[in-house]
Amino acid sequence: MTTTTRCPRCTGPLDERPARSRVTVDRSLPICAPCGQDEAVRDATGQAPIPPDQWPVR
């Protein structure tokens, strides 16, 4: 994965080891580590995930 690849959730750069989004059942959608952490915190605190149709990159 190159450093020019962008996170579809925030448009930030993806690094060599991206997180996997929790909005897909198989977690096949790579997102950046900060977005992965945000999704994990939202899940742990009972908050709904941010739907992909509200992400800046679709």
What sign does the dihedral 17-18-19-24 (CA atoms) show? negative
**What global pTM score does this model have?**
0.81
Burial (0-12, 13-18, 19+ Cβ within 10 Å), 21: buried
pLDDT at 38: 95
Structure confidence by residue, pLDDT tens digits, 3-58: 458 999 999 999 888 999 988 888 888 999 999 999 999 999 999 999 989 998 65
Q: Looking at residue 58, what is its pLDDT? A: 54
Q: Which tokens go with 57?
A: 């990159």
